Amino acid sequence: MSSRPGILTIDPILPFMRERLEQSFELHPYTTPEDLQRFAPSIRGITTGGASGVPAEIMNALPNLEVISVNGVGTDRIDLQEAKRRNIRVATTQNTLTEDVADMAVVLMMTVMRDVVNNDRFVRAGSWPHSPLPLSRSLTKKRVGIAGFGHIGQAIAKRISAFDMEVAYFNSHAKPDTPYRFEPDLKSLAEWCDVLILAVSGGARSANMIDNDILTALGKDGFLINIARGTVVDENVLLEALKEKRIAGAGLDVFQNEPDINPAFFALTNTVLQAHQASATVETRTAMGNLVVNNLIAYFTDGTLLTPVV
């Protein structure tokens, strides 16, 4: 048996991460619960993605687990209370993906409001010489509500202010050091804004917080942008609102049950869909991958974490 700590890799890892990790650890890709039983006692650490987390059946199967290094900022799919109870440390790649995720929120907002995807299809189909296009929506002077005002929400606000858009935000508490207006009621924020951008954390507290009442408040001229978690939105209600044009459109980077998302989204022309790509740039994924590795190296060197959550 190897004397090096065993690391379970729940999600596929990039080649440079594998190369670095293999210098210090024994890697075991997760396949099936049955296969996991063979090497479970040797596993002292886990790498995983924010969307995958660590399912309870995996955590429970690892008696010697000490540390979880998350390639992302989401911990809603990790039982942090159980981790604390077992003294399992948890780290994320916080502060590495803020800028790219904020960029994606703006890209989705601009793309759906200016109807970029449908215009691209129109030109490629050779339709330009033969028929007119419907007008799109201006961004200037529009009101933007941001639900969730942590690092990412604030980075979004900074960007969209450059478009001369008015910003207000909903959050668990007001941020006194920001110039933007705090709105403590999400429905009131939805009624006020033209664009509602979701940047909240996932988990039970935010599950299905975007329901029929919120979409009705957003209204037929309103747009929904989600770069948070798919669980934040009641997708059946959203699909009906989009089909019936009770909201103007949606730009979505995250979904419930991704990557096997509801195929009803595919037929909607008033949506822009992304495959959870907000942080998917060469620069950010490289920084994230290195931080995942560095957290594990730090922990097994001196017991510390560079970016701890637990």
Ordered DSSP codes for 43-84: EEEEEEETTT---HHHHHT-TT--EEEEESS--TTS-HHHHH
Show the CA angle centred on residue 215, arms to residues 210 and 218, nearest 5°.
120
Q: How many CB atoms lie within 10 A of CB 41?
A: 13
Q: Which residues are catalytic?
A: 229, 258, 276
Tokens 């190296």: give the residue. Answer: 297
DSSP state of 233: B
Q: Are 227 and 111 a contacting pair, CB within 8 Å?
A: no
Instruction: Supply the angle between the helices 282-302 and 98-113 in degrees, to the nearest 10.
Output: 150
Q: Using CA of residue 253, residue 104, residue 19, residue 71, what is the dihedral sign?
A: negative
Q: Which long-range contacts (CB under 8 A, 24 or more apart) does 173-180 make?
A: 175/149, 178/149, 178/154, 180/146, 180/149
